[in-house]
Amino acid sequence: VRGEIIAIGDELTCGRVVNTTSAYAAARLTAAGHEVIAITTVGDDVDRIGRALLAALDRSEFVIVTGGLGATTDDLTNKAVIHTLKRPATFYPEIFRKIQEYAATAGPEVRLSLEKLAWLPKGAHALHTEAKSAGYFLVQDGKPVFFLPGVPHEMKELLDEAVLARLEVWDGADQKTVRSRLYRLFGLAETEVNRRLRQFEQGKGDLEVKIGYYPVFPEVHVSLSVAGVDQDAVEEVFLALDREIVSRLGEDLYGFDEETLELVVGRGLKDAGCTLALAESCTGGGISARITSVPGSSDYFLGGIVAYSNSLKQELLQVAPPILETHGAVSAACARAMAQGARAAAKADLALSVTGIAGPGGGTPEKPVGTVFMAMDDGADVRDFSFRFTGERWQVQAMASATALDLIRKWLVTRG
């Protein structure tokens, strides 16, 4: 079903907050087979919210509105709905009772301000009777309109638990089958990926085939969608194209769909029964943070040393002073010593080290900003790698972190 998303909030139109909720909602709706034809972001303004809502109702079969439902005085979504759709404000005692339970420990002033959350446009239905969060839907011109809070985790909870199921019920029109997959790559340029896959872009008979290319720094993602009425034909074409794409992308394809590089690396380490230690300098803990963002990472990640200062490199990683004096901290020799030191300190199967110049300061003509050395010690062998990344500090750090994770991934692949 075709729908659209309206995100409300001055924090979004002023650019103070990045609109992650709409991306999440769009991803979930797309995964459920719907098509999001537009995402509109407007500020906290009754008139603009109203016009966006009317325009969306005109074009789409369903609308999801996020934000502007809170208890603070700048939340104006309900007011806009009340005016625009001519649905008088109505007090919902059962919603008020829930709010009071939730706010039992809050002071009287907070409770008073929360009463606002129980005044909704006429015809509103609470989305989830047990949810603490604001959120309701109403049916306008036969189309469902969902109102969700703008706070990301509250919106996600209600979307997953209450909206998607209700949308299924409305879903009766065009019963197309859609098969899609996302291919995640690190190490190939977008134009090269396009060159390899361009030949597969045409539709096949009645089936629509769509291949999309997305540079998501520092990665490139590719999507494949096959849609059509004949379920078997869709499946057959999808599987054939999937095989081709996987084969053309080769070893730079690291994962599918929701799989992140840190997830793939973690799974590989766990499957191989390998433990990992890190020694980070210019990435400053960024690789450790990515590794430990994965639940269960303590099964394979022993720890890391963020050796920002030379004294810590000597003290905890046993980097010999002559190495620092002769080659400097940003050198292949230092990276090798750091990897060996981390492996020994943590008694890990594999250790990886990173040392470099993230910038903007610290560069020299011989070692400009972006110069990064890495090393891996797996007990059998110590190998080092040198890179010259470009861009700002965050880009050098992000490229170095992703490259380090990819080195571990490729080490696991080679190891088999």
Cβ neighbours of residue 80 closer than 8 Å, sequence gap 6 or more: 46, 47, 49, 50, 53, 68
Answer yes or no whether residue 350 interacts with a copy of itself by CB under 8 A: no
Please, which residues bridge with residue 278 across strands?
304, 352
Of residues 376-415, those binding a copy of itself (CB under 8 A):
391-395, 397
Longest dimension (CA), the chain: 79
Instruction: In angstroms, give the least distance from the CB of 74 to a copy of itself.
Output: 5
Answer yes or no whether residue 291 interacts with a copy of itself by CB under 8 A: yes
Q: Among the candidate windows 150-158, 230-238, 264-272, 377-385, which touches a copy of itself by CB under 8 A?
A: 150-158
Place of tokens 């896959």: 197
The CA-to-CA distance between both ends of the chain, in Å, stands at 44
Cα 42 from Cα 51, distance rounded (Å): 10
Answer yes or no whether residue 73 interacts with a copy of itself by CB under 8 A: yes
Instruction: In angstroms, give the least distance from the CB of 189 to a copy of itself.
Output: 8
Please, which residues bridge with residue 219 across strands?
216
CB count in 10 Å sphere of residue 250: 11
Q: Choose between 43 and 123: whose C-beta lies nearer to a copy of itself.
A: 43
Answer yes or no whether residue 70 interacts with a copy of itself by CB under 8 A: yes
Cα 57 from Cα 85, distance rounded (Å): 11
Answer yes or no whether residue 2 interacts with a copy of itself by CB under 8 A: no
Q: Choose between 138 and 330: whose C-beta lies nearer to a copy of itself.
A: 330
Q: Are 343 and 317 in contact (CB under 8 A)?
A: no
Q: Choose between 159 and 264: whose C-beta lies nearer to a copy of itself.
A: 159
**Amino acid making up residue 398:** A
Cα 354 from Cα 339, distance rounded (Å): 8
Alpha helices in 104-223 (DSSP H): 108-114, 152-158, 164-170, 190-197
Place of tokens 């990640």: 301
Q: Among the candidate windows 159-167, 170-178, 188-196, 233-241, which touches a copy of itself by CB under 8 A?
A: 188-196
Strands 350-356, 253-256: pairing is: unpaired
Q: Which of 82, 179, 280, 412 binds a copy of itself (CB under 8 A)?
A: 280
Instruction: In angstroms, give the least distance from the CB of 59 to a copy of itself.
Output: 9
Q: Which of 295, 322, 365, 416 binds a copy of itself (CB under 8 A)?
A: 295
Query: How big is the site for a copy of itself, counted in residues (CB under 8 A)?
Result: 109
Q: Choose between 74 and 94: whose C-beta lies nearer to a copy of itself.
A: 74
Instruction: In angstroms, give the least distance from the CB of 18 to a copy of itself.
Output: 4
Q: Among the candidate windows 25-33, 162-170, 239-247, 403-411, which touches a copy of itself by CB under 8 A?
A: 25-33
Q: Among the candidate windows 91-99, 104-112, 167-175, 373-381, which touches a copy of itself by CB under 8 A?
A: 104-112
Answer yes or no whether residue 364 interacts with a copy of itself by CB under 8 A: no
The residue ranges of DSSP E strands in 186-280, in sequence order, are 208-216, 219-228, 253-256, 276-280
State the binding string over 206-245 for a copy of itself (x if CB under 8 A, else -).
Answer: ----xxxxxxxx---x-x----------------------
Please, is 89 exposed, middle or buried when counting C-beta atoms within 10 Å of its C-beta (0-12, 13-18, 19+)? middle
Instruction: In angstroms, give the least distance from the CB of 272 to a copy of itself.
Output: 17
Q: Among the candidate windows 158-166, 331-339, 343-351, 404-412, which touches a copy of itself by CB under 8 A?
A: 343-351
Q: Choose between 289 and 382: whose C-beta lies nearer to a copy of itself.
A: 289
347 φ/ψ sector (left φ>0, alpha ψ -120 to 50, else beta): left
